[in-house]
Amino acid sequence: MAGPTKPFQPYVPADQSMAEFTAKAVILGVLFGLLFGASTVYLGLRAGLTVSASIPIAVLAISVLKRLGGSTILENNIVQTIGSAGEAIAGGVVFTIPALIFLVPEGPKYFNYTQITMLAFAGGILGVLMMVPLRRALIVKEHGVLPYPEGTACAEVLVAGERGGKLAALVFSGLGIGALFKSFTNIFNLFLAEVGYSAPPTSQFPNATVNVDLSPEYMGVGYVIGPRIAGTMVAGGVLSWLVLLPLLSLLGAAILNAFPPIHPGMVNNPATGQPFLISEMSPGQIWSAYIRYIGAGAVLAAGLITLGRTLPTIIASARDGFKGFGSGAGGGTIRTERDLSMKIVLGGSLALAVFLAVMPGLPTQGNVLAAVLIVVFGFFFATVSSRITGLIGSSSNPISGMTIATLIITCVIFVALGWTGDVYAPVAISVGALVCICAANAGNTSQDLKTGYLVGATPIYQQMGLAIGAVASAFVIGLTVLYMHQVFGIGSAEVAAPQATLMATLIKGLLSQDLPWGLVLVGVFIAVTLELCGVHSLSFAVGAYLPIATTAPIFLGGLVRWFVERKTGESSDSDLSSGTLFSSGLIAGGSLAGILFAVLVGLEQRGYTVLSTLQGVGGAMPLLRDGDFGQWAGAGMFFVLAAILVRFAQRKV
């Protein structure tokens, strides 16, 4: 007969006090939050994907604080807690708020620095507050049941702090190599930034397209998510670009009339003055006019199916959440049980609702119903996000599905009330944006609190740190998003903002009740078909919606991980490995170099010719960019990067 369960003992006992919430830890955490928040903005706008930054921040915290005179494990934990908030909030922002640009003619009026920052701030703080009463239910009582993979891996990194120098070297190496490679393609113009091939429209397989964006951050993402998910994503891309695109092109050759829907930006063919025929469209135009609606339907169905599959978790989470509010937070006399008080949680949530209803310039100003929906959906999906994150991790958290569900319910309520004009579209996306940011940061908060629970941190200090990280990162996130829009234009090839484009498509179609349901339903039943075949459809659907130029390099990163695990004989889903740490550096380095490229483009637009001078390096060697040799040279350099990743991934940590 089994004996009583031994009480859990954290690494730092509850009765032991040491330096934790110090000035240097807070300042360094804020700096890391700004850094990774900005890089996540770039990655999210380009690829529509984000990955957790908690582990690389934990590694860097140990290394940097050692050089600043040393630190305690609890100070290191505060750094990663504050820093990780920037990444989570940035993901929620770029998935939703840029949709304002596409929704209504006056959308850009709402898309300004003040609004982006205020929405990021409000959603981030709401996510922290909503998680406070859930900590004991999900982190303490469910210890041993909910693994919280990234939170547990962060705790392993912090406990193994004496190895921080070696682990940090992997992250820094990836960051430097990623930034250098990105500079070769974008800043110095030495190699092509994208290689690929499209079959001629008159061929037997017309317009079939395979492109690869030669971005180190995409390869890093593929390695982190692994071959299974990366393979499923590129399978969706294969369907869109190598099945549906040629099929529509073959059928379009026999269609002599314009076939709706036509993308608003391509109503008439400038050569004929008449609406485009399919046979007159480029591969990109066919994808934009038709296939993206099929992809949107697949993402819509897959997101809702994913939520439906977790319905028992959702019900249990909601029940635990209300119990958490009933039992309250804070008040613990033991150091490791002290939370923010329920007065702050309830008062802060109410204050944020009032703020959203009265803040001038926000689409939600004067709309009490919108403020209520934000708080209700925010708490519900913060609870769901925190529990799902405990099972599968932050990087796999289906935030998009939760946001889509929020938008559908919100738009249905608006239509029922007769709120169908363009004026209500910004209100709907603001509700979705705040819920998305709240859910993303709640999931991130739960991972951080799990790390703190394992190492013996003081919860109230972590919660205060997360609030600081949310406020600080909101300022740089808004600045980065707006700057990327001013330089490239969100929706362009450089920053396509695929998730935000999807949200705008759904809202416009639902409120105007003219969504091309035929194409959307094709996508819906593609997702259903996959589910009936036993394949989880969300990754496939996202791949079907994204350009294949994005999913192909992600797949290559997944193949690198498969090769490394096959060669070493180690197959582990652990987030703490040489390859994962180096890939995290690739993601950050490539993204930061992309932001530097945007800065140089902005300077060029203002008459400063720094970029032109730097790109003259590539201009002096046109052979590396022109013709077939340029294609092979770019592909060769990408395989060199893959070989470097293989080498670093085989190092022992």
Q: What are the tens digits of pLDDT across the range 499-535?
A: 888 888 888 888 877 778 888 899 999 999 999 999 8
pLDDT band at 316 (very low <50, low <70, confident <90, very high): low
Residue type, 320: D
Q: Is 571 left (phi over 0), alpha (psi -120 to 50) or beta?
A: beta
Classify residue 507: in a domain, yes or no. Answer: yes
pLDDT > 50? residue 256: yes
| Spatial CA neighbour of 477 closest among 48, 88, 53 | 88
pLDDT > 80? residue 460: yes
Q: Is 534 left (phi over 0), alpha (psi -120 to 50) or beta?
A: left
**Other C-beta atoms lying within 10 Å of the C-beta of residue 17:** 11
Mean of the per-residue pLDDT values of the chain: 84
Residue 597 has phi, psi (to 5 degrees) of -60, -40
pLDDT band at 326 (very low <50, low <70, confident <90, very high): low
Please give the pLDDT value at position 180.
95
Classify residue 10: in a domain, yes or no. Answer: no
Mean predicted confidence (pLDDT) in 168-187: 90
pLDDT > 60? residue 107: no
| Spatial CA neighbour of 389 closest among 308, 443, 320 | 443
Mean predicted confidence (pLDDT) in 452-480: 93
pLDDT > 80? residue 258: no
Q: Name the token pair of 279.
A: 């046979």
Classify residue 5: in a domain, yes or no. Answer: no
pLDDT digit string, tens, across residues 604-636: 888 888 888 888 877 777 878 888 899 999 999
- Helix axis angle, 498-512 to 73-96, nearest 10°: 50
Please give the pLDDT value at position 388.
74
pLDDT digit string, tens, across residues 11-22: 889 888 899 999
Please give the pLDDT value at position 305.
82
Please give the pLDDT value at position 386.
82
Please give the pLDDT value at position 329.
54
Classify residue 220: in a domain, yes or no. Answer: yes
CA-CA distance, 576 to 362, in Å (whole number)? 41
Classify residue 457: in a domain, yes or no. Answer: yes
| 46 vs 422, more confident | 46
Domain limits at 44?
Answer: 16-653
pLDDT > 50? residue 4: no
Q: How far is CA 414 from the centre of its chain?
A: 28
Please give the pLDDT value at position 394.
67
Is residue 160 within 8 Å of 383, Cβ to Cβ? no
pLDDT band at 422 (very low <50, low <70, confident <90, very high): confident
pTM: 0.83
Classify residue 326: in a domain, yes or no. Answer: yes
Classify residue 9: in a domain, yes or no. Answer: no
- In Å, what is the CA distance from 598 to each residue of 102, 104, 151, 441, 587? 22, 26, 33, 27, 17
pLDDT > 60? residue 309: yes
Please give the pLDDT value at position 2.
44
CA-CA distance, 122 to 434, in Å (whole number)? 7
Q: HSE, CB side, 13 Å, CA atoms: give it for residue 88.
A: 45
Classify residue 389: in a domain, yes or no. Answer: yes
pLDDT > 60? residue 291: yes
Please give the pLDDT value at position 79.
94
Residue with tokens 């939760």: 402
Q: Name the token pair of 5.
A: 């369960």
Q: How many domains does the chain have?
A: 1
Please give the pLDDT value at position 226.
86
CA-CA distance, 19 to 69, in Å (whole number)? 13
pLDDT > 90? residue 9: no
| 542 vs 245, more confident | 245
Please give the pLDDT value at position 1.
40
pLDDT > 80? residue 400: no
For 196, the 3-state DSSP assignment is strand
pLDDT band at 330 (very low <50, low <70, confident <90, very high): low
